[in-house]
Amino acid sequence: MLNIVASYCVVPSEETPETRLRLSDYDQVVRLGHTPNIYIYKAKHNHNTTEKMIKSLSKILVFYYPIAGRLSLTESGRMELDCNAKGVTFLEAETTKSMSDYGDFSPSESIKELVPKIDYTTQPIEELPLLFVQLTRFHGGEGFAIGSANSHVLSDGLAHIRFINSWAKVTRGETLEPHEMPSFLDRTALIFQRSPSSPRFDHPELKPLPLKLGTSDDAAEKKKKTRAVLLKLTAKQVEKLKKKANEQPVKEGSRHYSRFEAITAHIWRCASKARELDEKQPTLLRFNVDIRNRLIPPLPRNYFGNALVATVTPKCYAGEIMSKPLSYAAQKVREANEMVSNEYIRSQSEAVLGQEHLDCIKAFFMGQGERSLAHFPGNPNIQITSWMNLPVYEADFGWGKPIYFGLGYVNSHDRALILLSPEGDGSVIVSIHFQIAHMQLFKKLFYEDYSKL
């Protein structure tokens, strides 16, 4: 049983600019809600833990003042950031469960209680905080959890993690370096002028994904339940996957496939086999690309906002993914990644935000719940996210680094998240969210297919 002990509204410790920030098209089309993440710490929860975290949060909000603001809706149906310093919500909780009761902390219904619960229907969106934090003490004092729920409209994962790490550093009593400040809060760098010739590309990533053969929509697949498990690959296993992917390169003279390309190809292959797809079944892999360094000129290093764009692999068939060398799937992943150039991004920006999205935003503000127009990336397709480059284990609030970081909910569609393990030994954790009916076979194939390499 979990009990909320106290709730605090934390505002910036100093006066901050009162302004409205325009949001880019990429801020408008993300999931209209908060993304719950969870950090687990094996450390004593002292009596002053809450006080220290609230005090440092108040200080860091001076620099990250948009986080203390609210979303607002313009007459055109676009969202803006109202920097009004109304503050964020900090919850203090305690649970009757011990750390061991939560197992390996893989996303599940029980894990959801460790992150703030947000109701989008009873409170006007314009009054809803953009950040909720929940500090939960485990029974017996053996550790605690920090659950954060960050508005996706406010920022992507990288920007949010950088904020959390800066907050942790201030809590430790250290001074932030200039590069740790959100030096670029202005979103207009991702608001491009419209061109008469745009969009200049076909943009398959914005189109519906392939359906299962014999079906006319994805309604049946959406109803199927998913669950999540954590699967670990040691550093040696990762290197073996890379070696196998590079044994038979598709394109002569191409550079070696990366860790991400090899692991992603392996997941895609196992998913196709576990679903027992027809060989002629079209299948795509979808993932996001960080565009901070792909734009010309590049975005500032500490750009605070959403700077991710979607991409999909070229059309292929399940039979090819399952039977051809691992390098075949890895090459498809590479082609999807390399497609995202400066010109491609600027072209995509012309097509990414349509009237349907604006109508969805209006419905969200009218209290009709959290909605999204994103295409369903489940069976026969899959979405994969890499967090291997995110500094998630730098969130040391003075009690040591977290022993676990991950999502605080189970995705309703097939999705894999790839993270480095907290041990820092080069091993990797795959948090796979998959249809329950196929999960057992996927787990078996994940290691069985690897051993065959």
Residues carrying an active site annotation: 152, 396
| DSSP at 209 | P
H helices of 175-317, where? 219-223, 235-245, 259-274
In contact, 31 and 383? CB cutoff 8 Å? no
Q: Whole-angstrom Cα distance, residue 436 to residue 71?
A: 36
Query: Which tokens sit at 11?
Result: 């505002």
Amino acid at 125: I
Amino acid at 257: Y
- Residue 385 DSSP SS3: strand
Q: Whole-angstrom Cα distance, residue 71 to residue 411?
A: 25
Q: Whole-angstrom Cα distance, residue 352 to residue 372?
A: 13
| Neighbour-count burial of 15, counting CB atoms closer than 10 A to its CB (0-12 exposed, 13-18 middle, 19+ buried) | exposed
Return the closest-CA partner of residue 408 out of 159, 168, 134, 155.
134
How far CA 97 is from CA of 6, 100, 102, 134, in Å, comes to 19, 8, 8, 16
- Decide the pairing of beta strands 308-312 and 404-407: unpaired
Tally of CA atoms within 13 A in the half-sphere of 364 that contains its CB: 27
Could you count the other beta carbons within 10 Å of the beta carbon of residue 430?
Answer: 20
Q: Whole-angstrom Cα distance, residue 395 to residue 384?
A: 24
Inter-residue long-range contacts of 152-155, CB under 8 Å, 24+ positions, other chains counted: 152/30, 152/31, 152/32, 152/33, 152/34, 152/35, 152/306, 153/23, 153/27, 153/28, 153/30, 153/32, 153/71, 153/79, 153/306, 154/27, 154/66, 154/67, 154/81, 154/130, 154/305, 155/304, 155/305, 155/306
Q: Whole-angstrom Cα distance, residue 269 to residue 318?
A: 8
